[in-house]
Amino acid sequence: MKTDVNEKTIEVRVFGNLRRHLEEQGLPAVMEMPVKQDQSRAFDLARELGLPPADVEAVFCNGHVQNIYDPVHPGDRLAFLPYGTPGPYRAFLGIWKEGRKAAAKRKKEGGGTVDRE
């Protein structure tokens, strides 16, 4: 992916069965990805990579769980995790809480699925 003077990069990692979406496109599971100086969201980056947002259970940004609709910035380290994390870890890591926030945001915006905005 090309970058220009108005863009910087973030490190992106994709885990579990989400990797198959990248493999189908010949993309690696770990990559540098351009991000514009104005804010992008993890949701937008997932779609750009061909990852169905509905298949993403958690997004880690710089080692902390965040909502898929939260902004990401140049220099961030981002990881996309699929569903399947065992129950207690979902609570300890904050995955469950962020999933509830994302569901509430979708409902408020009138979208029935993660893929709608």
Token pair recorded at residue 114: 């993660």
Contact 113, 54 (CB under 8 A): yes
Does a structural domain hold residue 36? Answer: yes
Q: The domain containing residue 14 runs over which residues? A: 7-108
Does a structural domain hold residue 1? Answer: no
Q: What are the tens digits of pLDDT across the range 87-97?
A: 776 676 777 77
Contact 9, 3 (CB under 8 A): yes
Instruction: End-to-end CA distance of the chain: give it in Å, rounded.
Output: 25
Does a structural domain hold residue 72? Answer: yes
Q: What are the tens digits of pLDDT across the range 54-87?
A: 898 889 999 888 888 889 999 999 999 988 777 7
**Total count of domains within the chain:** 1
Stated pTM of the model: 0.74
Residue 91: CATH number of its domain: 3.10.20.30
Does a structural domain hold residue 25? Answer: yes
Model confidence band, residue 35 (pLDDT cutoffs 50, 70, 90): confident
Does a structural domain hold residue 88? Answer: yes
Does a structural domain hold residue 2? Answer: no
